Amino acid sequence: MHISEGILTLPILAEGGVLAIIGTAIGLKHIDTDHIIETSLLSSAFFVASLAHIPVGPGSVHLVLNGLVGIILGWASVPAIAIALFLQALLFGFGGLTVLGVNTVIMAGPAVAVYYLFGPMIRKGGRSRVLGAFCAGMVAILLSTCLLALALVATDRSFLDTARLLLGAQIPLMLLEGVVTMFVVSFLARVQPELLNFADRVHP
């Protein structure tokens, strides 16, 4: 999911940077003082998730968990993901500092989207919670992949080629993220249900 340095053109890098800064500013306003710790913990979870490799076919995929971060944090997931990506670029060399904005948009944009799309379903409880959580995990990766393909359009291949290539590789990851998000949400619903409402409670 991380785009490396030196691939994208300057206009896309600039657009990504501006969008990421706006998103981060909105997100920071949404962080209630009581939930700073949860935000930083979910940011850490996102930070380490990229290291979890699951062998799929000939290659392997790594978890992203942006769906999970999104449904719990809502807009606050933008700063959470941006900081985690910054540290990943600095410490692991994933992505890079110039592409930080674009990578933030690719991963945090879908996080906010699934919060609005599936948040109400998850708060309803019961079977719709399980389904909503699965869809949130899956759709977040789907949207991220589409954004990734869109960002890469300006490089060498056409959008459709790139998207087809990426989507094929990401289908196992979508299912996996769906399942992981489903289990984590079911677990949280049992042990700490207020966490699933927290983005709502902050700004009713």
Partner 1 sequence: MNSCPFLLSSKLFFLLILWILITSAPALAHHLSVFAYVSGGDIVVQASFGHNRPVKGGEVSVKTGAGKLLFQGKTDGRGMLRFPRPQLPKNGTVKITVSGGPGHQGSWTMTPADLGNGMAETEAPAERKSAIQPASHSSPALSEEEQKYLSRLISEAVAREIEPLKAMMARQMESGPSLQNIIGGIGWLVGLGGLAAAWASRKKQR
Structure tokens at 132: 């909503």
Tell me the DSSP string of 94-109: SS-STTHHHHHHHHHH
Stretch that binds partner 1, among 9-17, 36-44, 114-122, 133-141 (CB under 8 A): 36-44
Per CB under 8 A, does 62 bind partner 1? yes
Can residue 10 be called a binding residue for partner 1 (CB under 8 A)? no
Q: Does 69 sit near partner 1 (CB under 8 A)?
A: no
* Cβ distance to partner 1 smaller for residue 149 or 199: 149
Question: Which residue in the set 45, 150, 175, 179 belongs to the binding site for partner 1 (CB under 8 A)?
Answer: 45
* Interatomic CA distance for residues 112 and 79, integer angstroms: 11
* CB distance 54 to 89 below 8 Å: no
CA distance 97 to 102: 10
Contacting range for partner 1; rule: CB under 8 A; set: 19-27, 46-54, 108-116, 126-134: 46-54
**Closer CB to partner 1, 29 or 157, in the complex:** 157
- How many binding residues for partner 1 (CB under 8 A)? 54
129: contact with partner 1 by CB under 8 A: no
| Residues contributing to the site for partner 1 (CB under 8 A) | 1-7, 31, 33-34, 36-45, 47-55, 60, 62, 83-84, 87-88, 91-94, 148-149, 152, 155, 157, 162, 165-166, 184, 187-188, 191-192, 194-195
